[in-house]
Amino acid sequence: MTVPPIFQLKQGTGKLIVSIPHAGTYLPPDIAGRLTDIGRQVVDTDWHVDRLYAFLSETDATVITATHSRTVVDLNRGPDGVLLYPGQAETGLCPTESFDGEPLYADETPGAAEIDARIERYWRPYHTALQAELARVRALHGAAHLFDAHSIRASVPRLFPGTLPALNFGTNNGLSAEAALTAKVVAAAGDHFSHVVNGRFKGGWITRHYGDPSNGVQAIQLELAQTAYMDEAMPAVFDASYAAPLMATLRNILHAFAGA
């Protein structure tokens, strides 16, 4: 198998930057060989999120998409490994178990030296590129609107009770994006899909770290419930006709976010 680049980057001329950090499925052979069957299935991938946002290729948005699995390193966690949701179950910077608590490694899990090496090899290039794009777009427009695109199974009892709404917007409790802009984005979603703002998912490290409205960076994370666009059963098959209503809603959301 050809080794993909760490990420794919489409540079645009508008204010909108879309980050897709968890849609990648590539596992380097030296890591894949140490994983359990569950680990090699990369079950916690944000399945097909890159395809949901494929319409951005026709716009002036900048899009950065990771190609490697979050099992290698989680790009939406800080390099210091600090938890996003203290007191709640979550996976770490270099996950060792699935969302359901199943072991990802058949033998030795990554130690401190290996984690540091993965940060340098896989995590830092993505964030260096993202930082550069934020600076470039701010230089062009005086502002940048960063949208962090994710998805997850609608029901993961170990991580949260019950079933998620279809659309889970996160702004770090209002710190990463101004309230008026968030309201405009949520209104653009319409009423076809259920939604919540700053519910179980308030925005991960990307949203929290880069979102800084006072300095011209508005950041919103959208965590999609996968039932809104696909059958969650493995293998994760993309059905374009089933996903079409959600894709239309995403167009409206990003049009509102980019145009503000």
Does residue 2 fall inside a structural domain? Answer: no
Which pLDDT value is given to residue 260? 62
Which pLDDT value is given to residue 31? 98
3-state SS, residue 234:
coil
Residue 184 and residue 199 in contact, taking contact as beta carbons nearer than 8 Å? no
Beta-carbon contacts of residue 241 (< 8 Å; ≥ 6 apart): none
Which pLDDT value is given to residue 131? 98
Does residue 122 fall inside a structural domain? Answer: yes
Q: Report the number of distinct structural domains present in the chain.
A: 1
Which pLDDT value is given to residue 234? 84
Find the angle CA(9)-CA(14)-CA(20) to the nearest 5 degrees: 35
Residue 171 and residue 201 in contact, taking contact as beta carbons nearer than 8 Å? no
Domain extent, residue 213, equals 7-259
Does residue 1 fall inside a structural domain? Answer: no
Angle between helices 240-259 and 179-188 (to 10 degrees): 150
Low-confidence ranges of the chain (pLDDT < 50): none
Does residue 104 fall inside a structural domain? Answer: yes
CATH of the domain at 164: 3.40.630.40
Cβ neighbours, 10 Å, residue 56: 24
Does residue 13 fall inside a structural domain? Answer: yes
Distances in whole angstroms, Cα of residue 216 to Cα of each of 42, 137, 147, 186, 219: 36, 10, 14, 20, 10
Which pLDDT value is given to residue 2? 87
Q: Which residues pair with 196 in a beta bridge?
A: 168
